[in-house]
Amino acid sequence: MSTKHNLEENLKFEPQFDENGLIPAIAQDARSGQVLMVAYMNREALDVTIQSGYATYFSRSRQKLWKKGEESGHRQKVEQILVDCDQDCLILKVAVDAGQCHVGYQSCFYRALKQSPELPEKSVSSATGKELEFIAKKVYDPREAYKK
Amino acid sequence: MSTKHNLEENLKFEPQFDENGLIPAIAQDARSGQVLMVAYMNREALDVTIQSGYATYFSRSRQKLWKKGEESGHRQKVEQILVDCDQDCLILKVAVDAGQCHVGYQSCFYRALKQSPELPEKSVSSATGKELEFIAKKVYDPREAYKK
């Protein structure tokens, strides 16, 4: 077991998988810096990613390895893997084509919270009932990419 | 309960907190696109963030609200909040000063997996035993920022 200080300051890679054996991984476009998606890896997915050079995750809904782009073709070529201070989160710097999100957008983050106009002094703002707005346009038709 | 399709395509903000009542939030520099840190929010932290305009997380280790920068001064002014397709992850686009990581770096992601030279054909590469390298320099002295 590593101490907190060791995890932060040393140069040994010790990914801290959570109680489900998973670690979150952020896929970030190595060119533009755009965050494309966040997914999870178990140890095997991380090993396969390192070995193959292409992002492989663990699908929590399907409970199995998920080679990103295997079906859609929208793979992620991994250029660099970063780890954070306490080694419980990864960034994959990836080279990608157009359309990384299965909904049809380049990034999964295609909506933002709508900014409220200045609020009257006594109104209370909270996440409940907030609206979103689209901040991107679709770059491909997922019905084409995922047809069997 | 929202269907998957609704979560993905509609404009109602319905953050999907996990079984611990938390949602991961990526703080990304609104100017440079650099990913600064990943932390978690419960509903209250998200509400406080929206109300105050400054990033507030839920500290899993201390099990309480964590107003980022309250002690160190390195706050995060939130310019935009993005949500992903299945609404189980957030990005905070933030305006920040120098030194967002408590270890002394601008970003918590100050180390990367060391790239191996081309491997002999039969060697197997895995996460186990991998080495890291520093990819950033410290921008402040955390002993100064966090002294009581």
Give the pLDDT confidence of B81-131 residue by residue, as tens digits: 999 999 999 999 999 998 899 999 999 999 999 987 655 444 456 777 799
Give SS3 for A44.
Answer: helix
- Closest-approach residue (CA) in chain A for B53: A125
Q: Is the pLDDT of residue B35 over 60?
A: yes
pLDDT tens-place string over residues A25-74: 999 999 999 999 999 999 999 999 999 999 999 999 999 999 999 988 99
Contact B131 A12 (CB under 8 A): yes
Q: How many CB pairs under 8 A join A and B?
A: 138
Mutate to test the interface with B, among A26, A58, A87, A123 (most CBs of B within 10 A): A26
Mutate to test the interface with A, among B2, B5, B13, B54 (most CBs of A within 10 A): B13
- Cα–Cα dist A145/A141, whole Å: 7
- Average pLDDT, whole number, for chain B? 90
- Say yes or no: A8 contacts chain B, CB-CB below 8 A: yes
Q: Is the pLDDT of residue B50 over 80?
A: yes
pLDDT tens-place string over residues A105-135: 999 999 999 987 655 444 556 777 799 999 9
Least CB–CB distance from B81: residue in A28, A50, A112:
A112
Instruction: Indicate yes or no: pTM above 0.80.
Output: yes
- Rg, chain B, Cα only: 18
**What is the pLDDT, as a whole number, of residue A5?**
76
The pLDDT > 90 percentage for chain B reads: 77
**What is the pLDDT, as a whole number, of residue A121?**
46
